[in-house]
A and B are shown apart, each in its own frame.
Chain A
């Protein structure tokens, strides 16, 4: 946990004339990370108007291709022939809130606003060799992503504090797993009062790998053929060196 810390300041300004507006700094932020085995911790904090208000924050990672397979029995053998191809599944989803969801608002409101794992759009899937409806594939995909820790719901993880004057402060943090996809992570802020969403704002962070790993990745993608040749030569060279070492040193 304590390997890498990246703190991102997303400030929410209180506008005195229009106290219901949630205004945030819209500058995009490039986050260069050296991903560690324990992932990258992101801290979000900002300011809101005080009072009986609650916050829900949603983080949606860059989209990824996913394939679900449906196993059926053919002549006594279980085969995964049925496939459902998705092209737009968020690689990461997390929703944080200042209280349990049901204390903030109603399920109906959550559905309307599209908040929570079960409301997360997964896009239209291309289903092949299967008669199963997409809803069923969708539900299994959601629960598998949840089990893998890529779709998260952290109720009550946003801390609200009163600040100077009429300003309230909020703070929360989340962990991007070590295999998080590079790209844009959208962060959406919802301010609730008496169960209704009264304000909305969004920002984003751009996750990029830094250092040597990034260089290798760029090289593999920009000069694919040369990369392949180098990979073969390096592998052959290492194999050759080891065999020479073994003979020279008479290790065995």
Chain B
């Protein structure tokens, strides 16, 4: 069984990619992440050129996050109003992020920035979420836990708006700002940013975990659609065949993930996402700290010229 990918220009075994798409799809539906931060390294490992991997992965996530969003919409667990607000901030942020990215390429510091942002964010977000979720499951102390959804002064800023689905009445400034910052980071790291956005939605905006996942997926649809369009227009690196194979598995996986997420409880769900994020961070860190066997290596994919 083999299939030729027209843009990646190589032949693959579609079964492997179907299964891979499904596994990442389950995670996507469960946690509300696009899964780019997991899938892209895996695709590169399987021999897909990095530029094609990043672009086709974005195209794949358009469909899988749409599938997941529909699943969550049926459970009435998407806050479209708040999602739109985050999206507007995110769009503005990604334009700023791309210009930072381009100016850092010129001074040759982009790799340092990408690796450090990845490492710092994955490990700090991962360990914080793990601590918090274990704490709220009562692992650390018997003392009264802080209420998860209290109002802070930040949310009392002007331009307050009511968000029915999330049960919030807060200022629109924090969601816009968070969207903006995540947009910058996501475009520097070349990911959709779900794994940064979700903790921000839970811990800063104080949205209920059940609504967070659907809302995150909802805005990922639009972010990845734009990324797909930019890559296909500027670099012609979107492999439609690869994206659709991943999606066949991914859309099915997303549905399973949605089902699973309704079975798991909030703190448990957060703890599982934390473990996932933390382990990716640790793997990346080991790559930074261990002396490579060869200091000069071929950069797969040719890099940017």
Assuming A213-B6, A252-B256, is B11 touching A228 (CB within 8 A)? no
Which of A87, A178, A227, A239 meets B11, CB within 8 Å? Answer: A178
Assuming A69-B299, A232-B62, is B243 touching A77 (CB within 8 A)? no
Instruction: Report A-chain residues with C-beta under 8 Å of the C-beta of B108.
Output: 81, 83, 128-129
**B66→A240 contact, CB < 8 A:** yes
**B252→A232 contact, CB < 8 A:** no
**A221→B236 contact, CB < 8 A:** yes
Which of B234, B291, B298 meets A140, CB within 8 Å? Answer: B298
Chain-B contact segment, one of A5-13, A31-39, A116-124: A31-39
Chain A interface, number of residues (Cβ within 8 angstroms): 67
Which of B247, B288, B298 meets A141, CB within 8 Å? Answer: B298
Which of B7, B47, B292 meets A78, CB within 8 Å? Answer: B292
Contact count band on B: 35 or more
Chain-B contact segment, one of A46-54, A60-68, A159-167, A193-201: A60-68
**A220→B302 contact, CB < 8 A:** no
**Residue picked from A71, A72, A182, most chain B C-beta under 10 Å:** A71
| A136 close to chain B: CB less than 8 A | yes
**A79→B112 contact, CB < 8 A:** yes
| B255 close to chain A: CB less than 8 A | yes
- Which A residues are within 8 Å of any B CB, using their own CB? 34-37, 64-72, 74, 76-81, 83, 85, 87, 128-129, 132, 136-137, 140-141, 144-145, 148, 178-179, 181-182, 209, 212-214, 216-217, 220-221, 224-225, 227-232, 234-240, 242-244, 246-247, 251-252
- Closest Cβ of chain B to A209, distance in Å, is 8
**A243→B67 contact, CB < 8 A:** yes
- Please give me the residue from chain B that is nearest to A214 by CB atom: B6
Instruction: Report A-chain residues with C-beta under 8 Å of the C-beta of B64.
Output: 239
Which of B6, B248, B252, B287 meets A216, CB within 8 Å? Answer: B6
Assuming A231-B59, A243-B70, is B297 touching A71 (CB within 8 A)? yes
Instruction: Report B-chain residues with C-beta under 8 Å of the C-beta of A77.
Output: 115, 288-289
